[in-house]
Chains A and B, each alone.
Chain A
Amino acid sequence: MNLKLKVWRQESSKHKGKIVEYKVHDISPDMSFLEMMDQLNQSLIEKGQDPVAFDHDCREGICGSCSMYINGQPHGPENMITTCQLHMRSFNDGETVYIEPWRASTFPIIKDLVVDRSAFDKIIQAGGYISVNTSGNSQDANAIPIPKENADSAFDAATCIGCGACVATCKNSSAMLFTAAKISHLSNLPQGQVESSSRVISMVNKMDELGFGNCTNTGDCAVQCPKGISLDNIAKMNREYLKASLKSEK
C-alpha cells in the first residue's frame, strides 16, 4: 500500500519544529510501523537528507524506548501495544498518517520524535527501590511465603516499561500512573512494606518538583498504557500517601 506521512521534524529543542509531508510506497501489511519508518529513512538517506530520528531498541514492546504519537494517540491506534509492535495491517492504502513526538513540558524534545524522559529515572531514584545491600547475605528466598495474589499484583504493576505514554496523553502531563505502578509493585511485597511510607512521600514530592501535573481522574493514561497498568494503582498510591502523611504529622 501507499501512504502519506505527516511527520514532526525539529532539529533540536532550540529550533522550531514543523510538520513535513512524505510519501511512502509499496508498504507491506506485515511490516511493523518502525520498519515502515526505516524504509522512509532509507529513502531520505538516498536523497542526502537527514533521516527522521526516533528512539527504539528492542522492537518487541519491552524496553520502552519507542515513543510516537500516531494519528493523535500514543503508540498508535491499537490498544495494549507499543509503537514497535504496531503493524501496517492496522492502516489502509492511501491513508494519511500523522506522526508526532510525546508532548509534555517535562519531556523536552531532543530531535524530531526523540524526547528526554530522564525525569522518570529521577522519580525512581527518589525511592523506587528496596534498600537492601547487594552482598547476597539475604535470607533464603523462600523464607517468607508471599500469597500468590499479592505476588501477581506486584508483578502486574512491575510490568510498566517506562515509556511515558501515560504522561504524553494526559492533559495535565501527570506522571501518576508511572509513579503509582512502582509504589504498588513494591508495597504489595512484604520486603517493600518496611519503607512504604517514606517511599510514597519522597516519590510523589519528586514528581511534583519535576513539574508533572496533578491527576484529575480522567483515566486516559490507563487507556493508552501499552502494558495495561490499572488505575487501581493510583488509588492505592493515594491511600498510601494519605496514610503516610498522617503518620508523619504525628
Chain B
Amino acid sequence: MVDVIKSNIPEGELSKKWTNYKSSANLVNPSNRRNLDIIVVGSGLAGASAAASLGEMGYNVKCFCFQDSPRRAHSIAAQGGINAAKNYQNDGDSVGRLFYDTIKGGDYRSREANVYRLAEVSVNIIDQCVAQGVPFAREYGGLLDNRSFGGVQVQRTFYAKGQTGQQLLLGAYQALSRQISKGSVKMYNRHEMMDIVILDGKARGIVARNLLTGEISRHSSHAVILASGGYGNVFYLSTNAMGSNCSATWKAHKRGALFGNPCFVQIHPTCIPVSGEYQSKLTLMSESLRNDGRIWVPKKLEDAKRISLGEISPSDIIEENRDYYLERRYPSFGNLTPRDVASRAAKERCDAGFGVNLSGQAVFLDFKDSIKRYGKEVIESRYGNLFQMYEKITADNPYKIPMKIYPAIHYTMGGLWVDYDLQTNISGLFAAGEANFSDHGANRLGASALMQGLADGYFVLPYTVSNYLANDIQTGKISVESKEFSETEIKVKDRINYFLKNNGSKSVDYFHRKLGKIIWENCGMSRNKEDLNSAIEQLKTIKDDFWRNVKVTGRNNHLNQELEKAGRVADFIELGSLMCHDALNRNESCGGHFREEYQTEDGEALRNDETFSYVSAWKYNDENLSPKLFKENLIFKNIELKQRSYK
C-alpha cells in the first residue's frame, strides 16, 4: 500500500483558482512583516526574485548563495528565451494554449492547476521585466520581438540575443540590490547552506558555512525557501555550471521532505559533443538554433565513416544523400520537435552507426539553407554570440561548416515535491525554481524554466508565503540556541571533520566521474529494468568506496574548494540511487523517461495513463533501506489525455 498525498489545489474553475486564492489568502499586516524572518537559499531567477519581492513587502530576508555575487547564479547562463502568452504576434496564442502546450509537452505528468497559474502569470513577467529595464530584442517598430521554440506552433518566446538568462537575472539581481541597499535583504555571498533545522515539525532555519573562513553559523527564520537550482550535475558532465548541486534539496529530503519525480531529467538535443577524457562540462547550443538550423546525418554508412575520419567534408554530401531525420520522422514539427523526442532520434541514428565524429556521437546542425535564404547578416544578428561561442570551443566556423551536436543532460524536472502553495510536506519549507518538481511534468518545453523561476519568485511565493506566515505573527524571534540547532551544527561539523581526516587515496572528481558514467549509461536517455538494478548495486559500491577512500586536501578554516565538492558529491551519489529507484518504479515511457520495455513498434514512447498518472514522491528511509513511495494522483479535468504526437 502506498500513501496518497494531497496537493491543496483550491476549489473552483481552473481559470479562477488563482484569483480566488489571492482574494481569500491570509495576509500579514505591513507592520507585522518586519517581525517575520525569511531565509532564501539561492540567488538565481527564483531566489533573487523571491528575496527581492519579499524584502520589498517588508519581511526580514536573508539570502544565501555560494558564488561570490548573487549575479553569478547559474540562471545567468540561460540562452534562448522566456515564454509568455502575450500573443503579440497575433498567431492565436493565449493563456489556455500555453497551458495546453505545457501539459502536453510534459507528457501529461504535471498538475493542471499549477500549470494554469504559470501560464496566467507569464504575461506579468514580461511587463515586470520591461519595467525593470531588461533589454529584450525589439523589432524596427520598437515593439518586442518573439521567436518560436520546440514543441509549439506559435511565437511566444521573448529573448535578448542568446543571453536571455543573463538579462533576466541581472534584472532580478538589480531588484535584489535595491532591497539590499534599503536593508530589507541581507545577502550572504560565498555561504553554503549545510543543513536545515526543523523545530516542532516546522522549518525554522538553516546552518551555513562561510566558504572563505570555514565558520559555521546558525540562522533562524519563520519560513525557509529553497531556490537552489537543479541536480543535473549528478551526471558529472552536464550543461550546468560547475558548482550547481543538489545538497540543499537533498538535506531537506533527508529531513523528511518528499522528493518528486527524481527520474524526470531532460536531455537537451543540441550540445557540443564530448571531445576527450579531460572534459569538465558540456556546452549547450541554444534550442533557438533549431528555428533556422536543419539537423541531419548522411544516409549512407560509408559517408558517415569518411566524414568522421576527415576524409570528406559534410559539404561533399549531396542533398539526396542527407537524412534530415527529424523532418522525415516528424513532418509537422520537423526540427522543432520537443527535446526528449529530438534527443532520442539523434541517439537512434548514432547507435545505428551514422554519427559524424570519431566517437560516433554527433549529428549535424546545418545553417546553409537559412544563410542562403536570409543572408549571413540576419543569421548573425540572431545567433552571433552562439556561433562565436561554438567556434571558440571547437575551432570550426559554423557559417561555413555545419555544427556538430549531441544530446546532453541539461535540466531536471524532478525536485522537492511541493503543493499548490509551493510548500513541501514540511510546514514552512518552500521550494521554487528548478529545485522543486515543478510544472513541467516529464519534459520541460524550451524557454519555460525562466518563466517558472520568475513566476515562483515574483508572483506566487509573495502570496503563498504570506498566507503561511499569517499564523506566525505571534511567534516572535526564533532562538538559535535550541537543541535542534546545536545538534544540526554538530552533525555538519562532524561531516567536515570526517572528510578532512579521512586521508584516503582518491580525489573527489574521481568519484564524481564514476558516478556520472553510471547514471548516464543506466538512467540517461534510455533505461531498462536490468540496467537500473545493476546501477543501484554499483552505486552502493561507489558510496562505500567514497566514504572509505575519498581524499580531501587542505584545512577547514580557509577557502577549500575540494571540501565543498566532497560534500556535494556525497549527496549526488545518494540522489543517483533514488533516481534509479524512481525510474525502475515507473513502468512506462513518458517525456524524458524512456523505458526500453515500453515503446511502440516504431520506437515512440508508450505511456500508461491507467497506472502511472501520478507524481512519485519519495520519502527518505534509513541509509540502508529503499526509499518509500507516496503518490499524488494527477486528475485531468480540463484536458483530454492523448498519445503525444509530433508527426
Q: Which A positions have Cβ atoms within 8 angstroms of B?
A: 11-12, 28, 30-32, 34-35, 38-39, 42, 44-46, 48-51, 53, 55-65, 80-81, 85, 87, 89, 110-111, 114, 116-118, 120-121, 124-126, 128-136, 138-142, 145-148, 151-152, 154-155, 158-159, 161-162, 185-186, 188-189, 191-192
Contact = CB atoms under 8 A, between A and B. Distances in A.
Contacts of A34: 280
B181 A57 contact: no
A177 B445 CA distance: 38
Given A110-B212, A141-B126, A159-B166, A42 B509 contact: yes
B52 interface: yes
Contacts of B130: 138, 141, 191
A81 B132 contact: no
Contact of B178 (A38, A39, A51, A129): A129
Given A158-B135, A186-B133, A124 B241 contact: no
> Which of A11, A125, A141, A146 has the most C-beta atoms of chain B within 10 angstroms of its own C-beta?
A141
Given A48-B553, A59-B242, A11 B558 contact: yes
Contact of B67 (A28, A65, A131): A65
Given A31-B278, A89-B395, A51 B561 contact: yes
Interface in B134-176: 135-144, 160-161, 163, 165-167, 170, 173-175
Contact of B142 (A11, A49, A80, A147): A147
B24 to A, nearest CB: 19
Measured as residues with beta carbon below 8 angstroms from the partner, the interface class of chain B is 35 or more
**10 cross-chain pairs, A with B, having the tightest CB-CB distances, nearest first:** A145-B142, A129-B174, A136-B124, A138-B131, A155-B135, A141-B130, A125-B181, A154-B135, A57-B241, A63-B72
Contacts of A158: 135, 160, 167, 170
Nearest to A15: B558
Contacts of A135: 53, 56, 462
Given A65-B67, A117-B68, A148-B140, A189 B175 contact: no
Nearest to B181: A125
Contact of A50 (B395, B459, B553): B553
A189 B142 contact: no
Interface string B161-197: 1010111001001110110110000010100000000
A57 B74 contact: yes
> Which of B76, B135, B174, B212 has the most C-beta atoms of chain A within 10 angstroms of its own C-beta?
B135
B177 A65 contact: no
B77 interface: yes
B69 A192 contact: no
B177 A145 contact: no
B281 interface: yes
Contacts of B279: 35
Contacts of B549: none
Given A62-B163, A116-B68, A159-B166, A189 B133 contact: yes
A11 B560 CA distance: 11
B291 interface: no
Contacts of A35: 278-280
B138 A151 contact: yes
Contacts of A124: 71, 173-174, 177
A50 B68 contact: no
A104 B74 CA distance: 27
A31 B451 CA distance: 34
Interface string B32-61: 000000000000000001001100100000
A50 B558 CA distance: 12
Contact of B133 (A50, A56, A185): A185
Contact of A46 (B49, B241, B389, B507): B507
A161 B385 CA distance: 14
A57 B180 CA distance: 24
9 contacts: A28-B278, A44-B553, A51-B561, A89-B395, A111-B559, A135-B56, A136-B125, A145-B141, A155-B167
B243 A134 contact: no
A117 B69 contact: yes
Contacts of A145: 138, 141-143
A121 B173 CA distance: 10
B30 interface: no
A191 B178 CA distance: 16
Nearest to B66: A57
A111 B558 CA distance: 8
B71 A64 contact: yes
Nearest to A116: B68
Given A49-B553, A134-B53, A162 B69 contact: yes
B127 interface: yes
A118 B189 contact: yes
A180 to B, nearest CB: 16
Nearest to B79: A62
A111 B88 CA distance: 51
Given A45-B553, A192-B133, A85 B67 contact: no
Nearest to A190: B133
B96 interface: no
B554 interface: yes
Contact of A134 (B74, B175, B507): B175
Contacts of B76: 58, 62-64
B392 interface: yes
Nearest to A145: B142
A145 B130 CA distance: 11
Contacts of A188: 135
A173 B7 CA distance: 55
Given A85-B392, A151-B138, A189-B133, A57 B67 contact: yes
A51 B562 contact: yes
B127 A62 contact: no
A130 B132 CA distance: 6
Given A32-B280, A35-B279, A138-B128, A65 B72 contact: yes
Contacts of A126: 181
Contacts of B167: 155, 158
A134 B56 contact: yes
A44 B507 CA distance: 10
A146 B142 contact: yes
Contacts of B388: 80
Given A116-B68, A125-B177, A125-B181, A132 B135 contact: no
Given A35-B279, A80-B388, A124-B177, 18 more contacts: A30-B275, A42-B509, A45-B551, A53-B559, A57-B243, A60-B281, A62-B76, A63-B77, A63-B241, A65-B68, A118-B68, A118-B189, A124-B173, A130-B174, A136-B128, A148-B140, A158-B160, A158-B170
Given A121-B177, A155-B161, A162-B71, A59 B135 contact: no
A38 B278 contact: yes
Contacts of B177: 121, 124-125, 128-129
Contacts of A131: 178
Nearest to B279: A35
> Which of A65, A125, A129 has the most C-beta atoms of chain B within 10 angstroms of its own C-beta?
A129
A151 to B, nearest CB: 4
A134 B52 contact: yes
> Which of B133, B175, B178, B189 has the most C-beta atoms of chain A within 10 angstroms of its own C-beta?
B133
B305 interface: no
B283 interface: yes
A148 B142 contact: yes
